[in-house]
């Protein structure tokens, strides 16, 4: 016991010493490797965009912006338009975000605000993380054999009773927008829940204590202090979840119906850009491949813009919460 103060003093002296020459070299090498890795990622994204854009260039010259505003996809007549794909991609992703975003934020609140014992919260986090590891095709099969039969009676009843409303204008005979959106919401939920948890955990505990000290109830602290303070991070979680939904392919190709139409009906089959690419590429000829590459370039652009916006919002929010803004 008598040697403990000397050991603590020795360790303190070691920590306070200036870095050695070897440590300087290791630090510089690590920084260099980190910069090279970041630069390599940027080069890789640029290379992908360049290759896709190069193959899409003939279609861009032939169809211009009409490719984005027309609905015809006729290989024989060499007429191509992806408006239904753009609409279906945005519509299904937005519906999925409404469902998955609500449940994702709710789960984040319950896991970070002490509603559950530590061990139970750990199990819930593990289950949510496991959802992100399930293959997309498994979600698609589950949607076909479970989701569609489960919601079909309610969907057809809504069509019979409220068919005059555009959202219920058709019956659900099989694949459609709503089954695809429900399955997509489950796939988006882990992303929204994880980032929302980080945003809520980033709020200083003193802020919560101050609200309790002023007499606020538990739910008032959560809904009027914690959630508004972390709103930027939660919103960025939504944006990143939206970006995740935009690029989903296999499950949507199996569930959305692959119908080249623009519709508001939740029960009608539709099309997405990712499903369009997956279903047409295996049998596409040279002319159709160029059009598909144009569609892939549009999807890449939309996804990159959404994800960059989400990451930027998350960074700004974290800096504002930590006082570094």
Query: Would you tell me the crossing angle of helices 273-280 and 286-322 to the nearest 10 degrees?
Result: 150
Q: Is residue 220 part of a domain?
A: yes
What is the C-alpha to C-alpha distance for residues 255 and 187, in angstroms, rounded to an integer? 14
Asked whether residue 203 is domain-assigned, the answer is yes
SS3 call for 235 = helix
Answer yes or no: is 26 within a domain.
no
Flag whether 198 is in a domain.
yes
State residue 102's pLDDT score.
Answer: 92
Cβ atoms of 307 and 243 within 8 Å: the answer is yes
Angle in degrees, 0-180, between the axes of helices 286-322 and 177-201, rounded to the nearest 10 = 30
Predicted local confidence at residue 236, as pLDDT: 82
Span 136-155, pLDDT tens digits: 889 989 999 999 999 999 99
Residue 135 φ/ψ, nearest 5 degrees? -60, 150
- What is the chain's mean pLDDT, rounded? 84
**How many structural domains is the chain composed of?**
1
Answering whether pTM is above 0.85, one says no
C-alpha distances out from residue 221 to 18, 135, 171, 299, Å: 45, 38, 44, 40
Render pLDDT for 210-240 as a digit per residue (tens, 0 to 9).
Answer: 888 888 888 888 888 888 888 878 888 888 8
The rounded distance, in Å, linking the Cα atoms of 4 and 142 is 62
pLDDT given for residue 284 in this prediction: 76
Looking at the predicted structure, is the pLDDT value of residue 4 above 60? no
Q: In terms of residue numbers, what domain contains 94?
A: 46-322
Report if residue 106 sits inside a domain: yes
Residue 32 lies in a domain: no
Q: Write down the pLDDT at residue 181.
A: 92
pLDDT at 325 over 70: no
Q: Is 194 contained in some domain?
A: yes
pLDDT of residue 150: 92
What is residue 248's predicted lDDT score, i.e. its pLDDT? 82
- The pair of three-digit structure tokens given for residue 126, joined into one six-digit string: 């593990």
Residue 8 has pLDDT above 50, yes or no: no
Tens of pLDDT, residue by residue over 232-282, are: 788 888 888 888 888 788 888 888 888 888 888 899 898 888 888 888 887
Q: Is residue 85 part of a domain?
A: yes
What's the CATH code of the domain at 214? 1.10.3720.10
């Amino acid at each position: 016991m008598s040697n403990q103060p000397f050991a603590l003093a020795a360790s303190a002296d070691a920590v306070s010493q200036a870095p050695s020459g070897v440590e300087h070299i290791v630090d510089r090498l690590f920084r260099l490797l980190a910069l090279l890795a970041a630069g390599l990622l940027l080069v890789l994204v640029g290379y992908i965009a360049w290759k896709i854009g190069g193959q899409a260039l003939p279609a861009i010259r032939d169809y211009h912006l009409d490719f984005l505003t027309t609905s015809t996809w006729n290989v024989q007549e060499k007429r191509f338009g992806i408006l239904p794909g753009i609409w279906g991609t945005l519509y299904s992703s937005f519906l999925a975000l409404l469902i998955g975003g609500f449940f994702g934020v709710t789960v984040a609140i319950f896991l970070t605000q002490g509603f559950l014992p530590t061990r139970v919260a750990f199990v819930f986090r593990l289950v949510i993380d496991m959802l992100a590891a399930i293959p997309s095709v498994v979600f698609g099969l589950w949607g076909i054999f479970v989701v569609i039969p489960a919601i079909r009676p309610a969907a057809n009843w809504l069509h019979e009773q409220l068919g005059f409303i555009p959202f219920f204008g058709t019956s659900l005979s099989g694949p459609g927008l709503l089954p695809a959106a429900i399955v997509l919401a489950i796939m988006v939920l882990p992303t929204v829940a994880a980032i929302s948890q980080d945003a809520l955990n980033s709020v200083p505990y003193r802020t919560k204590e101050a609200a309790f000290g002023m007499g606020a109830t538990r739910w008032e602290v959560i809904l009027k202090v914690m959630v508004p303070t972390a709103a930027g991070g939660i919103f960025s979680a939504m944006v990143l979840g939206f970006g995740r939904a935009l690029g989903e392919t296999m499950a949507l190709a199996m569930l959305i119906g692959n119908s080249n139409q623009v519709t508001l009906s939740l029960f009608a089959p539709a099309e997405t850009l990712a499903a369009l690419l997956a279903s047409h590429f295996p049998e596409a000829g040279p002319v159709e491949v160029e059009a598909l590459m144009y569609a892939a370039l549009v999807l890449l652009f939309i996804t990159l813009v959404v994800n960059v916006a989400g990451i930027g919002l998350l960074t700004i929010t974290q800096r504002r919460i930590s006082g570094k803004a």
